[in-house]
Amino acid sequence: MRKIIIAGNWKLNKTIAEAVELVSEIKSQADGVTNVDIVVCPVFTALSEVNKIVAGSNVGLGAQDLYWEDSGAFTGEVSVPLLKDAGCQYVIIGHSERRQYFGETNETVNSKVKAALAGGLIPIVCVGENLEQREADKAFDVVKDHVENSLKGFSADEMKKIIVAYEPVWAIGTGKTASPAQAQEIHNFIRSLLKEMHNDEVAESMRIQYGGSVKPENAKELMGQKDIDGALVGGAALKAESFLGIIKNC
Ligand code: PEP
């Protein structure tokens, strides 16, 4: 049985004080929830203060990106040891906004996943097609390219630690959600790719989250799909009420 994982990607939002307020509310209302893994991913500057609130609780902490070198002359970057020092257990890698605006490629994603695994962080690796690609009937090709190349070269044991997030770009922040059937179709396809790359055991044990306008109202039906094991949530993760609504509805 794969445990549902709901992660909030706060993107470029929240001051330290706002982040502390939000996570305090999430933590107190999620107290006692044991059947869902809960993760919050604030901006780098708020990680350490948020960690002071969630440390030792059932709310995990994640970053939104990393650099693959540990230290050195890499101005502006943040590494795995520094994220661990700030209290992180998870890291989002290859989000479509990073692919779109910051030149992230399958190759850089692959290097980042390698570094995260080597340093003991759980990578949440984002894959997914944009609107143009979906309309051109290329969704499966794009997802195959992202999965095979971003996750190239890992052992079966390493793969089992990785979480994949399928995020159709056309559904991110747009209010347009993939229908449960559309999402399930791609999730099932991703699982079949993981099986081809490794084996049944790897494919069946890996968690695949859905992301794209997930809200309390659509969470239950999405999470009820056979191959959907959680959600990566953007907009609705910025308010305790909606984030907790999603957790309660799955
Ligand atoms: C995201 O950015 O990962 C995301 C899924 O955003 P939203 O929930 O706002 O669509």
For the entire predicted model, the pTM comes to 0.97
* Ligand 1 atom, smallest distance to 172 CA: 10
211 lines ligand 1 (CB under 6 A): yes
CA–centroid distance, residue 24 to ligand 1 (Å): 22
Sign for the CA dihedral angle at 237, 238, 239, 240 comes to positive
Task: Give per-residue pLDDT as tens, 210-241.
Answer: 999 999 999 999 999 999 999 999 999 999 99
Token code pair at residue 153: 């070269």
| Contact between 164 and 121 (Cβ < 8 Å) | no
CA–centroid distance, residue 159 to ligand 1 (Å): 24
Positions in the chain whose pLDDT score sits under 50: none
**167 among known catalytic residues:** yes
Amino acid in the structure at residue 162: I
Q: What pLDDT score was predicted for residue 173?
A: 87
| Contact between 22 and 8 (Cβ < 8 Å) | no
Q: Would you tell me how many other CB atoms lie within 10 Å of the CB of residue 114?
A: 16
| Contact between 90 and 126 (Cβ < 8 Å) | no
Residues 6+ apart with CB under 8 A from 163: 5, 90, 122, 123, 124, 125, 206, 207, 208, 209, 230
State the angle between helix axes of 240-249 and 216-223 in degrees (0 to 180), rounded to the nearest 10: 30
